[in-house]
Structures are given as structure tokens and as C-alpha cells.
Structure 1
Amino acid sequence: MSLHLYFLRHGETTHSQTGGFCGFLDPELTAPGKQMAQAFADAYKQQPWEAIFCSPMKRTIATAKPLCDALGIEPKLREGLKEINYGKWEDSTQAEVCKQYAEDYIRWQREPAWNPPTEGETTIQIASRASLVIAEIEEKYTNGNVLVVSHKATIRIILCNLLGIDLGRYRDRIDMPVATVSVVKFGTHGPMLQRLGDRNHLPKQLRDREGT
């Protein structure tokens, strides 16, 4: 038996619909977002779980809650799983950022690993803090299933870090719609991606929602 990490991106929020920059902002799930969280719990509650690790944001906690309630366990909240800090770009549209912070935006587009959003975080910083959580999980759980509930950029960066993909290309190589599940198995030769961006647990009307 091996350790399997399940990465779940939170359900829909108003910002995931509009595409505005939302990292350290703390919006609630929309009504469909809550349905996505419940659909995940319904599909996975019969599976044995060793633990649930969760970003301490409202949208991730609310996404983890239905499964935690079904299992009767508490999520382990970790700051390292929070979303990228977009700094001055928070709550702005891409057009607004391009107008107000054009040079920073161009640098971030070209090489986000080392160039942050204005007064925000680099990809390297996110990978560093998130890797501490992954290392904690690997140390505590050598076998079984562990769920990690986090965010779009953070999960993509973790996956790139685990799979040896250039961290600066996380936005170009991996897509991560809301409420998707990705699975990594830790075996003899290290992490192996077994599933990416799976939404089969969602009913069709939720899978078909735009802006996610």
C-alpha cells in the first residue's frame, strides 16, 4: 500500500466566476459552490481517509466541511496551503491590473517563479511554504489516503514541484477548474500523477458551469 494525496480545489465563488484576482481575499462559496462540496462528499465519503488538510480560508473550509461532517473528523488547517497573495492586484480584473501595474504584470506573465504580483508572492515562495505541508503529510502518513483542500494556483504549484515541472510554467501547463480532484501516488520511484482535474463526481449541470 502507498500514500495517495488527493488535491481538491475549492468550489465556486463569485471571483472564480468573474476571473478577478482573488488570493488572500476570503469570499464565501456560491450556492452552486456549496453543491459542489456536497457532491464531492457524497462521492468520496465511503473511501477510507487518514486525514484532511485544508487551507484556512472560508472557501476551502466550506468545501471540506461536508466530507468532514460525514466522517466525523476535523480538518487540519495549514497556512502553507493558502492561495497566492496577489498583493495590490487583489479584487482587480486583468484589464485593471494591465493598466495600473503594466510592467509588473508583464514580468509576472513572463516569469512568475521569481516575479510576484505587485507586493505579492512569487511562485517560489508559494512552493516553499506548501512543500512544508506536503513534507509533514509524508512524514506522518506512509500509507492510505490524505485529502488536501486548497486553491487553483497553490495546487498547480504543488503538482509542478512534485512532478519536476518548471515552477514558472504552472499557469501554462496545468489547468485546475473549481471542485476538481487530482491524485498523486507516492511510490518507490517518487510521486506519480494518477489523476488530474477530475470532475466526474459533479452532476452535469455543475460541470457545465462557465467561468470556473
Structure 2
Amino acid sequence: MEIEAGHVGCLQSREIMLIRHGTTAWNLEKRYLGHTDIGLLPEAEHELSPLREQFSNVIWDALYCSDLLRCQQTLTQIAPTQAGKAKLDARLREIDFGQWEGLTYDQLKDNPQYREWIDAPQEVTPPKGEPWKAFADRIDSFIEKRLMSFSPIRHSRSINVPKIAVITHGGVIRYMVSRLIPNQGFWDTQVIPGQAIKIRLDGNGESWVGTRLTFP
């Protein structure tokens, strides 16, 4: 991905932690969950405790979170002392499944439009749902404005590589990985609730390339 940004010619790096929210009732029931704003299950506190422990000594240079409740609750669980400095961003929402929100595969499998969408989600839109282009455009905007334009000179508290955390949704993470890491398709990434994916992003202000790092 190429963008226009400052510090052209100066190599910059940053570590990005993409974190999927914890488990909701609809996740357990395998219902499509996009913009519907439901919270986490009570058991999510235990589910997210490993991330809370792993991040206990990390000072984030920037912290971004989807504005939906399940992500805000995840943020509070994994970064309780830094949650107040997080920036909520609606661009980080999951895709809106429209009339298919809350339904399961079994309820939709005989719907011809659903079958077409499964085969070509970039070309078919759920009824009253969000077109793929709109979904992709808003995430691209977030990537360019918040991840690639992030200046360590302005934001970092140390000379170390800046650390950025993004608490968001499964589809958003799949899309981000496909945009940041060469030769990664949307469905190549599997991410379960409460999982974090770590990426190192290197660039010069104009072109950037990401590498997935081992975590934990």
C-alpha cells in the first residue's frame, strides 16, 4: 500500500498488535455479528486474562478501539490502566451484515443470495448490509491515517520501536493482515475471540511492508 506521508526517505518501524474482542453469546451460537452492539460473556474475563498478563508491562504509544461495546469491554479487561487513553474509532467496526445479522449458516444456507455472497463477498452485498467497498475503504482509511502516518517523533516516549494496539473484530483483522503483509489473502488468517496477532510494519513514509511476528 502506498500513501503520502511525512518523513519521506526516513526508515520508520512500528509494532502493531491486532486484538480480536472476547467471546459473545452470538459467537458461541455462530450467528453473524457485525454492527449489532452486544457485550461479552461473563466468562470473557477469564478468557482474556492471558492477554492482560502479557500486556501488563507494555506501555502503548497509541491505542485504538472499535466503538462497539464488545471491543470496549475487551480493552478494559486487557489494558485496565491505559484504557482511558484509547481512541474509539467507528472505522474499526466489523462489516454490517444487514438483514443477516443474528442469523446462522443453517438459517441462510438455502438462500440463493447468501450462496452468491459466500462465493463472492466482494461483489455481493447482504440485504441492507454494508458493501465490501465501503468496508474496505474505511479500514484502508484507518490504516493510512493511524498506522502508516503514525510518527514516532511525535508519539513515542522512548527511542524504541513504537507499539500500537488495535482492539477490533475478526473480519477487520483478516482484512488488515491481507493489506499489510504481502501475499496474504483475506481468508488466510484465522483469528479466534481473544487472540492477538503481532505485525512489524517497516516503511519510509511512502511504501510499507508488514511481517507477522511470533506472539506470545
Q: What's the TM-score, normalizing by structure 2?
A: 0.81
Work out the CA distance in 1 between the residues paired with 2:38 and 2:135. Answer: 20
Partner of 1:140: 150
User: Please, which runs of 5 or more residues in structure 1 have no aligned partner?
Assistant: 201-212
Q: Mean Cα displacement is larger for which, 36-45 or 16-25?
A: 36-45
8 Å CA contact 1:34–1:62 kept in 2: the answer is no
8 Å CA contact 1:52–1:148 kept in 2: the answer is yes
Which digits, 9 at most, give the CA deviation of each residue in 1:124-152, with x for residues without a partner? 32121012112122223344000000001
Work out the CA distance in 2 between the residues paired with 1:48 and 1:74. Answer: 11
Which digits, 9 at most, give the CA deviation of each residue in 1:163-208, with x for residues without a partner? 2557xx52x3221111111122111472323237x5x5xxxxxxxx
Work out the CA distance in 1 between the residues paired with 2:16 and 2:151. Answer: 10
8 Å CA contact 1:21–1:91 kept in 2: the answer is yes
Q: Letter of the 1:39 partner, please give it.
A: P
1:175 maps to which of 182, 186, 190 = 190
Work out the CA distance in 2 between the residues paired with 1:165 and 1:108. Answer: 23
Partner of 1:206: none
What is the alpha-carbon root mean square deviation over aligned residues?
Answer: 2.1
For the pair 1:86 / 2:101, whether they are aligned, the reply is: no
8 Å CA contact 2:71–2:168 kept in 1: the answer is yes
Partner of 2:126: 117
1:58 maps to which of 61, 69, 72 = 69
8 Å CA contact 1:37–1:64 kept in 2: the answer is no
Work out the CA distance in 2 between the residues paired with 1:67 and 1:174. Answer: 22
Q: Letter of the 1:45 partner, please give it.
A: S
Q: Letter of the 1:113 partner, please give it.
A: Q
Which digits, 9 at most, give the CA deviation of each residue in 1:36-68, with x for residues without a partner? 334312211202210210000110000011344
Count how many residue pairs are aligned between Structure 1 and Structure 2.
193
Work out the CA distance in 1 between the residues paired with 2:122 and 2:65. Answer: 24
Report 1 or 2 for greater relative contact order, CA contacts < 8 Å, sequence distance ≥ 6. 2
For the pair 1:161 / 2:179, whether they are aligned, the reply is: yes
Q: Letter of the 1:139 partner, please give it.
A: S
Q: What's the TM-score, normalizing by structure 1?
A: 0.82
Cα–Cα, structure 1 residues 162 and 50, in superposed 2: closer, same or farther, change >3 Å? same
3-state SS of the aligned residue for 2:84?
A: coil
Q: Letter of the 1:71 partner, please give it.
A: Q
User: Please, which runs of 5 or more residues in structure 2 have no aligned partner?
Assistant: 1-11, 153-160
